[in-house]
Amino acid sequence: MLGAMLPDDVRPVDPPIPIVDDLERVAFYVPTYMGPVDDLALMARMPRLEVVQLLTAGYENAERFLPRGVTLCNAGGVHDASTAELAVGLIIASLRGIDSFARAMPSGSWVYGRREALADKRVVVVGAGGVGQAIRQRLEPFEADVVMVGRSARPGVHASGDLPALLPVADVVVLAVPLTEDTHRLVDTEFLARMADGALLVNVARGPVVDTDALTAQVASGRLSAALDVTEPEPLPPDHPLWNLPGVLISPHVGGNTSAFLPRARRLVAEQLRRFAAGQPLEHIVSR
């Protein structure tokens, strides 16, 4: 039996999969998109569970609930375009001061001045997977010099060991990595200290990839600026200093949640179900 914990507007196939009451019969489970932890905990009550298909690219929350022998798949490719769009939007908004213009509108202020262009900037994208490559594809037409960094070196991609040499010459650093033991607080005091004065840090990955206290200190000093779609903690408390620091732009974890999500999610789950029913290899396996 198939199991789904999806709101009506996020059902991946037509006709919709009914919500399953008999958890003991579930073999293929699709947890709620951005849903509560309780939905992931339901895996422990599914003795016949074989596959968990997430609707998110990140899978760190689901891994700790995954029963032994169950295959975990993420939503590879579903969020690439939307997250890349937001990353580019955050960069342009930050460099060109669009958020400042918006804040000045209610008072009728004409905030004229010369701003930074994306053209001719060197952008280091940390994370060379689907989202990272989608960001690169969208940045290059803006005449930016895009440098990709992955876990290991390959044509067109630097190894993570090259970061210390790349950070001082980057105008913008974009984080597009999954949250793992290796990337947890990857952006710490040392990482930020290597970034050039006036550089912009953009995080469309996961909040814990960045040491929030270290970033707050650097931005408060005026040395760096930041554009964040994800934070730690999340949501960021209303009294957190990042909300009011100059040079900070925050969006509420909306990188993948656009009109492009539903059609891509439906296609992904339908294809995975077809493969599962036919006994064919699944795609986007991240853990077993």
- Grouping H, G, I as helix, E, B as strand and the rest as coil, residue 26 is coil
How far apart (Å, rounded) are the C-alpha atoms in residues 288 and 272? 16
Contact 242, 250 (CB under 8 A): yes
Instruction: Out of 25, 253, 266, 267, pick the active-site residue.
Output: 253
Encoded tokens for 285: 């396996």
253 is catalytic: yes
Instruction: Out of 50, 234, 271, 283, pick the active-site residue.
Output: 234
Question: How far, rounded to the nearest angstrom, does the alpha carbon of residue 239 sit from its chain's CA centroid?
Answer: 24
Please name the residue ranges forming H helices in the chain: 37-41, 60-63, 80-96, 98-104, 130-139, 163-166, 189-194, 212-220, 261-278
Q: What angle do CA 125, 34, 258 make, to 5 degrees?
A: 60
Instruction: Out of 158, 206, 264, 284, pick the active-site residue.
Output: 206
Q: HSE, CB side, 13 Å, CA atoms: give it for residue 249.
A: 25
Encoded tokens for 113: 């001045």
206 is catalytic: yes
**Residue recorded with tokens 């040499």:** 165
Backbone angles phi, psi at 194, to 5 degrees: -75, -20
181 is catalytic: no
Contact 270, 12 (CB under 8 A): yes
CB atoms within 10 A of CB 203: 27
Q: How far is CA 82 from CA 249, 253, 257, in A?
A: 18, 12, 7
Going by DSSP bridges, is the β-strand pair 285-287/71-73 parallel, antiparallel, or unpaired?
A: antiparallel
Q: Which residues are catalytic?
A: 206, 234, 253
